[in-house]
Amino acid sequence: MKQITKYIIRNDLKRLFTYRLCLIGFKRKGFDRVYSYNLGEEAGVTAEQVRKDFSVFKIKGNKKGGYKINDLLRSIEEIFKYQHNQHVILVGMGNIGRALVQYKRFILRKMIIVASFDIDPSKQSKRFGIPVLPMDMMSEIINKFHVKVAILAVPEISAQDAANKLVDKGITGILNFAPVILKVPDEIIVNNINLCDELESVIYYTQKVM
Amino acid sequence: MKQITKYIIRNDLKRLFTYRLCLIGFKRKGFDRVYSYNLGEEAGVTAEQVRKDFSVFKIKGNKKGGYKINDLLRSIEEIFKYQHNQHVILVGMGNIGRALVQYKRFILRKMIIVASFDIDPSKQSKRFGIPVLPMDMMSEIINKFHVKVAILAVPEISAQDAANKLVDKGITGILNFAPVILKVPDEIIVNNINLCDELESVIYYTQKVM
DNA sequence: TATATTTTGTGATTTGTTTCACATTATATT
DNA sequence: AATATAATGTGAAACAAATCACAAAATATA
Ligand SMILES: NC(=O)c1ccc[n+]([C@@H]2O[C@H](COP(=O)([O-])OP(=O)(O)OC[C@H]3O[C@@H](n4cnc5c(N)ncnc54)[C@H](O)[C@@H]3O)[C@@H](O)[C@H]2O)c1
Ligand SMILES: NC(=O)c1ccc[n+]([C@@H]2O[C@H](COP(=O)([O-])OP(=O)(O)OC[C@H]3O[C@@H](n4cnc5c(N)ncnc54)[C@H](O)[C@@H]3O)[C@@H](O)[C@H]2O)c1
């Protein structure tokens, strides 16, 4: 029911992700400490915002000494449960699905697409490094790898149907690329990615803001 | 400087996009009028929120009669300047770039990828329906099609460099898929898409919310 | 035509988020 | 060791967003 507000990434989480990106950048440049204003400047927020965010997540720095980058990164990773790999499945090996299963950064962040599924038998091969399986093998894989999260990359017309199957088989989180408002039980997390909207909003802002 | 807050889609815009999606759904189901509570329920927000949003964007309904779906859609399209096609270029014909140039929904929404660019000569062909060109033809295309917005889909390491080129040639808005905080002049709009973050936040919520 | 009903539209109020301001503390300096 | 400096951490204040509450208007009903 509370789709939009419930499912989008909260702004504070989004900033946390950005801080991590900045920290990795600083680290690569040879720094091992940062102050809140360094991070703020890099991430495009105020230093107070940075400290407040850390305060909310109980991340502590060192007065006068700032934050040790490695400690910060570890604290942030702690929040996102980085200890163990997260198994994920993908449904729909079309244009976007193929790109996603080949995206190495998911693995770097310990998110493993263990298998993908497609109704089209011609897509069912091992060409992509991971198995592409028929839909009726989904339960087996979900149970075997304890999968809780799925990436949904099927055509709009099939999206609700595929989502039903996923929920049915025990999936509790969906990253949905189809521009469709999925009807799912309240406890299921849906994060809708709508790239048309994203591109369009860039166009909107370029025309309005300047 | 104010990267994060400035560049993300404002929540009210995001909701407007969602309303449109819902309206298209209602229309397909045969409705021609909706009330704020229909839209609210479908989009996952309160009816008051729907009316307030419309109020902000000066969209008027009919007391007791609700909103005519076609009028609403037209009003929303008005906000996003749907009259004429928007020309866009894409840089980086890798996995994600290839998926995007073949995405038909951009065209439905009148956003036309007029050409794409890659440093790798082997990618420069017409296999994808649009020309894939060498980088030194960028200025020509940007000027010819009055392009203001670019999709950036190059490796992280090249992203800043490619962004510099784009800004240099007159691009004012970038949809950036590389997980990199781009350093661009203040007036340039950057919308960062970070699919790792998006997937990770689904995992986060499935573990925390329930 | 008068009255009841339903829904919009929007100020007023509440709730949530960001910024401010400063006490606190770690480090540097004398 | 005492003092100055520079940073964090966090309540309080300011600001922004969402909800409430109800007047206004359109339609339906009697
Ligand atoms: N291509 C893009 O760049 C892009 C961008 C954003 C969003 N999307 C969205 O992602 C989705 C997929 O887009 P695409 O371009 O990859 O489409 P596509 O047609 O290339 O691929 C869809 C795949 O899903 C499979 N499929 C269809 N019905 C299925 C079902 N019920 N169960 C399992 N598999 C099924 C098809 O066999 C096909 O392989 C669409 O909803 C689209 O709007 C695509
Ligand atoms: N593959 C995905 O699903 C995915 C998902 C999210 C984000 N991304 C991001 O998108 C970007 C591209 O990812 P990919 O998987 O498509 O990579 P890729 O390696 O498949 O493709 C990158 C393409 O960019 C070209 N290129 C490299 N340097 C260039 C330059 N300076 N100018 C122009 N072209 C250049 C390469 O020749 C190649 O064709 C990366 O930053 C990645 O992190 C990818």
Tens digit of each residue's pLDDT (9 = 90 or more) over A127-175: 788 999 999 999 999 999 999 999 999 999 999 999 999 999 999 999 9
| B5-79 and B82-198 have identical folds | no
Is it true that domain B82-198 has CATH number 3.40.50.720?
A: yes
* Of residues A12, A88, A99, the one with CA closest to residue A55: A12
Say yes or no: Cβ of A55 under 7 A from any atom of strand D: yes
User: Which of A102, A200, A202 comes nearest B189 by C-beta?
Assistant: A202
User: Which of B13, B194, B206 comes nearest A148 by C-beta?
Assistant: B206
| Ligand with an atom nearest the CA of residue B106 | 1
Chain C positions under 7 Å from a protein CB? Answer: 5-11, 17-21, 24-27
Which pLDDT does position B158 carry in this prediction?
A: 98
Which pLDDT does position A1 carry in this prediction?
A: 32
Say yes or no: Cβ of A66 under 7 A from any atom of strand D: yes
Chain A residues with CB under 8 Å of B189 CB are 202, 205-206, 209
pLDDT in tens, chain B (210 residues): 333 334 456 788 889 999 999 999 999 999 999 999 999 999 989 999 999 999 999 999 999 999 999 999 999 998 887 667 999 999 999 999 999 999 999 999 999 999 999 999 999 876 788 999 999 999 999 999 999 999 999 999 999 999 999 999 999 999 999 999 899 988 899 999 999 999 999 998 888 754
The architecture in CATH of the region A5-79 reads Orthogonal Bundle (1.10)
Q: What is the dihedral of CA B177, A5, B41, B21, to 10 degrees?
A: -10
What whole-number distance in Å separates Cα of residue A178 and Cα of residue B14? 16
Opening angle at CA A67, ends A66 and A70, nearest 5: 155
- Which SS3 state, helix, strand or coil, does residue B80 take? coil
What mean pLDDT comes out for the span A21-26? Answer: 95
Residues with CB under 6 A from ligand 1: A 91-97, 117-120, 123, 135, 153-156, 158, 161-162, 177-179, 195; B 99-100, 102-103, 105
**Domain boundary assignment for chain B:** 5-79, 82-198
What is the count of residue pairs from A and B with beta carbons less than 8 Å apart?
Answer: 197
Which pLDDT does position A210 carry in this prediction?
A: 44
Which pLDDT does position B8 carry in this prediction?
A: 56
Nearest chain B alpha carbon to A45? B2
Positions 11-50 of A with beta carbon below 7 A from strand D are 35-37, 47-48
Say yes or no: Cβ of A121 under 7 A from any atom of strand C: no
Measured in angstroms, how far is the CA atom of residue B83 from the centroid of ligand 2?
Answer: 32
Alpha helix (H) ranges present in chain B? 3-7, 11-28, 36-43, 47-56, 69-79, 95-101, 104-108, 138-145, 156-168, 195-208
